[in-house]
């Protein structure tokens, strides 16, 4: 792993696709380099072990990065092993997740995932997946309760070295404004954006978009004057009557 990618036809929605292949490739790489130059390639607080990361990502849904880290740290202080979650009353986990919001949903997803993992592998541990092919890993992870395509790809990217591209709200927003996709939802964009961004750049592009989306390319009132990629941005050109 990683194994060679099998290309399949992808429906193209972004305006970038009207450009010649050589021009499109150069533009994508220029954006990736610019984002990496400003933000680097940090882990964004994601744990290094796969199951730790899975729990962390579930906890982080619909809450702030700071609250996600605090809540996750509390869980690790309480549970030295994830098997211990299944041995404790469900109400305990719900209570610990309350500050991060959606505690009933998140506790159900975490406990459901842990039950399936323990049933399949004998203990709450995902390290066995590292020996499998990427498509098998993805299929297993997305078969767990609460694990979407994005969540699975985050776990694979952060902890297994997979050259995939998770698309969250920030990645979707930045890519839409660049003109790389016209799809309305983040969960519709994985294949289109993976077909655009070279495997070697996907990690830096993902984390760069997350930080850029938090700090500059915000949902409302984006700070275009501070944007490191505005020269490549379709949204910026339109705002300035150049689109």
Query: Given this model, what pLDDT does residue 239 score?
Result: 86
- Within a domain: 9: no
Alpha-helical (H) ranges within the chain are 21-39, 50-60, 65-78, 83-87, 90-97, 103-121, 134-142, 149-160, 169-178, 190-196, 202-215, 234-239
What value does the CA radius of gyration of the chain take, rounded to a whole number of Å? 19
Pick from 160, 182, 210: which residue ends a domain? 160
Pair 107, 94: CB distance under 8 Å = yes
Query: What is d(CA 154, CA 173) in angstroms, rounded to the nearest whole number?
Result: 17
Residues 62 and 110 in one domain: yes
Could you tell me the CATH number of the domain that includes residue 173?
Answer: 1.10.1670.10
pLDDT, tens digit (0-9, with 9 covering 90-100), for 220-234? 999 999 999 999 999
The stretches in the chain having pLDDT less than 70 are 1-9, 242-243
CA-closest candidate to residue 55, choices 78, 25, 30, 32 = 78
Task: Specify if 218 maps to a domain.
Answer: yes
Q: Which of 135, 160, 185 is the last residue of a domain?
A: 160
Q: Is the domain of 68 the same as that of 155?
A: yes
Domain total in the chain: 2
pLDDT recorded at residue 186: 94
The answer to whether residues 34 and 61 belong to one domain is: no
> Domain holding 118: CATH number?
1.10.340.30
- Distances in Å between the Cα of 53 and the Cα atoms of 34, 48, 192 are 27, 7, 25
Same domain membership, residue 59 and residue 118: yes
- Residue 48, classified by CB atoms within 10 Å of its CB into exposed (0-12), middle (13-18) or buried (19+), is exposed
- Residue 99: give the domain boundaries: 50-160
Inter-CA distances, 122 with 8, 119, 143, 157, 182, Å: 36, 6, 17, 25, 44
pLDDT score, position 243: 56
Task: Let me know: does 18 contact 26? Beta carbons within 8 Å.
Answer: no
Span 125-136, pLDDT tens digits: 999 999 999 999
What are the C-alpha distances in Å from 49 to residues 27, 89, 124, 130?
A: 34, 25, 12, 11
pLDDT of amino acid 241: 75
Residue 3 counted as domain residue: no
Residues 156 and 54 in one domain: yes
Q: pTM to 2 decimals?
A: 0.91
Inside any domain, residue 182: yes
**Statement to judge: residues 105 and 178 lie in one domain:** no
Same domain, 152 and 64: yes
Does residue 37 belong to any structural domain of this protein? Answer: yes
The pLDDT assigned to 11 comes to: 83
Domain boundary among 101, 128, 160: 160
**CB within 8 A of 7, min separation 6: which ones?**
195
Return the sign of the alpha-carbon dihedral for residues 60, 65, 67, 71: positive
**Same domain for 58 and 139?**
yes
């Amino acid at each position: 792993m990683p194994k060679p990618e099998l290309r399949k036809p992808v429906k193209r929605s972004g305006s970038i696709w009207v450009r010649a292949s050589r021009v499109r490739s150069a533009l994508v790489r220029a954006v990736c380099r610019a984002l990496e130059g400003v933000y680097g390639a940090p882990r964004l607080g994601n744990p290094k072990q796969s199951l730790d990361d899975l729990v962390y990502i579930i906890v982080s849904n619909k809450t702030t990065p700071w609250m996600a880290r605090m809540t996750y740290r509390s869980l690790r202080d309480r549970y030295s092993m994830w098997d211990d979650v299944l041995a404790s009353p469900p109400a305990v986990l719900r209570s610990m997740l309350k500050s991060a919001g959606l505690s009933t949903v998140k506790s159900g997803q975490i406990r459901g995932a842990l039950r399936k993992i323990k049933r399949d592998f004998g203990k709450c541990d995902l390290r066995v997946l590292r020996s499998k092919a990427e498509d098998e890993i993805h299929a297993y992870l997305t078969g767990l309760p609460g694990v979407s395509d994005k969540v699975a790809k985050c776990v694979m990217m952060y902890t297994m070295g997979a050259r995939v591209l998770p698309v969250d709200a920030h990645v979707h927003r930045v890519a839409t404004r660049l003109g790389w996709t016209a799809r309305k939802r983040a969960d519709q964009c994985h294949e289109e954006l993976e077909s655009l961004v070279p495997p070697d750049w996907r990690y830096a592009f993902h984390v760069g978009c997350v930080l850029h989306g938090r700090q500059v390319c915000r949902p409302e009132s984006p700070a275009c004057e501070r944007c490191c990629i505005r020269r490549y941005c379709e949204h910026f050109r339109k705002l300035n009557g150049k689109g």
